Amino acid sequence: MRTTLALLALLAGCEQVELGGTYAYLDELVDPTGAVAGTDAVFMPLPRAGGVARLAPGAEEATVLDLGARRVERLQATPTGDVLARTVATLCDDETVTGTRIDDCPYDELRRVGFVQRLGREKATDTWQVGPWYGDFTFSADGRWAVAPIDPDVGTTGGGIVNLTSLLALDLGSGRRFEIPVGFAADRILFVEDEAGARSAVVLSRSAVAVVDLTADLPGVRITYPLTLDAGSPLSPRDVVLTPDGGHALVTVAGSTDLYVLDLQDPSINLVSLAGTPADLVVDPANDQTLLVYANRSLVEVLDHQLFDLREVTLARPANHIDLGPDYALLSQLGAGLDLVRLDLASLRTDTIRLNYPPDEVQLAPDGAFAVTLVRSGSQGDNLELVDLVLRDGRVRTTSTAFRLDGAPVGLAMTEIPDGMSLLVLQQGVDTLFELSWPLLGLATADLPGGPAALGRVGDGFWIAHDDPLGLVSFYTPGEDVVSLAGFGRTGLFDVDQLFVEEE
């Protein structure tokens, strides 16, 4: 054990090592920014090894999952807490090759085969073969359906022919998969869902919106809505939202002041003239309405979902971003404005809070009691502000509480504590976890074993990925000690790229 620890300590100071005639760069061993959390563990890609490490709170060491000869390319978590790995196996079409190393096969005989694998505690529990040319999945809320468009950055077809208008629809419950042609350059997907689950998928593509029926025995396009009849003047959909009943899709188009209202039940298209090209729009399900803001107009428009009439609320300054709270919307002008506007969703009354710095990011507390604004490397450095959004005597506080940061914010997370909320702040290059309490604004700190790279929730606490070449992840629960797992990236030092042997 001492020998292993001494070797790891020695390697940590190197950028490149040679083992058995092959070279390995240490910064290729782990990918902390690609880590995702499942229900009870964190999964981190190991690029050099091509595998995945499973790190669980309370475990004494990490588990490197058995993926066969497949190499992981990216991970995604489903809404139900499962983690899916997009993996690729490399095969050789030259039948004279008898070795298993990729270097044994002529380059023009290599072929890539894609898979989706559901990750378990020690290995993949389910595996589906899919084309490696598909992009990231969009998941239905119940975690049953995973739908992905073509990834335009993937240049290989694996030796076959790829329909660039297709989607991959994967039923994670039954394991069935479907390739559905829907239109050119599909890039955004929303689900129409009810208590029984997802009924259909609304897919945006260039100049068109397609509706895919997921309840049919063979899912396919039910209807396509053309956004223009002039093929020589294509339109680029910018945003799309669904009304709470799933009956209509609202689509904005880049450079246009028209809102396209698509009736998904009795197919038709209506146009609503807006005050300009929206910078952002958000559906308010409680009041059955949509809010729209404009970067160059000092107003917010409110669209009723019954008659699709518009109402205007005047603002002192423009807004380009909307965050939806429990009974209010918070309007901001990211990157430029000092005003936060609290818009009461029922009465449409506004309250304005003045900030000290124009925010790059706004986050609301889970209960909506306060907001956090972040500034990353602005003219006055890195800053954080807390904004009280609780109504007292019918009004809110018009000022914020500002904090100067030592480094750029890497991660921000919130959780409930007995007396309110706990706000965790990580900063680039700072080996300390800062914990602010709300509403008392007390400050506590905890030492970290290295600089942070990512932060997220897992189980009852949080995980922190560090910038460490051999792999380092910490777990923290408010009020408890920081516990870390290290060294799992060493797996990649000894692995070589292997060919995948097809099962007969």
Query: What residue segments make up the domains of the chain, in order of their start?
Result: 315-405
User: Could you give the CA distance from residue 116 to residue 127 in angstroms, rounded to a whole number?
Assistant: 6
Strand ranges across the sheet with 289-294: 280-284, 289-294, 297-304, 310-314
How does pLDDT run across 123-166, given as a tens digit for each residue? Answer: 888 999 998 889 999 999 999 999 999 887 776 555 567 777 88
For the cut 70, the answer to whether the pLDDT of residue 43 exceeds it is yes
- In the chain, what percentage of residues exceed pLDDT 90? 62
Count CB atoms within 10 A of the CB of residue 504: 3
Min mean pLDDT across 147-161, 183-197, 234-248, 315-329 is at 147-161
Average pLDDT over residues 187-211: 90
Looking at per-residue pLDDT, the higher value among 496 and 142 belongs to: 142
Please name the residues in contact with 6: beta carbons below 8 A apart, sequence gap of 6 or more: none
Sign of the C-alpha dihedral computed for residues 157, 162, 166 and 170 taken in this order: negative
Q: Report whether 471 contacts 464 (CB < 8 A).
A: no
How does pLDDT run across 210-258, given as a tens digit for each residue? Answer: 999 999 999 999 999 988 867 667 778 888 999 999 999 999 998 899 9
The tokens describing 245, both together, are 């009943």
Q: Report whether 284 contacts 329 (CB < 8 A).
A: yes
User: Could you give the CA distance from residue 154 to residue 152 in angstroms, rounded to a whole number?
Assistant: 6
pLDDT at 157: 54
Q: Report whether 35 contacts 452 (CB < 8 A).
A: no
pLDDT at 9: 43
Instruction: Name the residue with tokens 């904004």.
Output: 387
Average pLDDT over residues 448-453: 93
The DSSP bridge partners found for residue 322 are: 331
Average pLDDT over residues 170-191: 88
pLDDT at 95: 84
Average pLDDT over residues 271-299: 97
For the cut 90, the answer to whether the pLDDT of residue 333 exceeds it is yes
- In the chain, what percentage of residues exceed pLDDT 70? 91
pLDDT at 25: 63
Min mean pLDDT across 268-282, 300-314, 324-338, 490-504 is at 490-504
Rounded to the nearest 10°, the torsion over CA 13, 14, 19, 23 is 160
Q: What is the pTM of this model?
A: 0.88
pLDDT at 160: 64
Looking at per-residue pLDDT, the higher value among 24 and 251 belongs to: 251
| DSSP secondary structure string for all residues of 292-344 | EEETTEEEEEEEETTT--EEEEE-SS---EEEE-SSEEEEE-TTT--EEEEEE
Q: Report whether 433 contacts 482 (CB < 8 A).
A: yes
Min mean pLDDT across 107-111, 120-124, 162-166 is at 162-166
Residue 257 main-chain phi, psi, to 5 deg: -100, 10
User: Could you give the CA distance from residue 176 to residue 81 in angstroms, rounded to a whole number?
Assistant: 20
What letter does residue 70 receive in the DSSP assignment?
-
pLDDT at 228: 81
User: Could you give the CA distance from residue 229 to residue 132 in angstroms, rounded to a whole number?
Assistant: 33
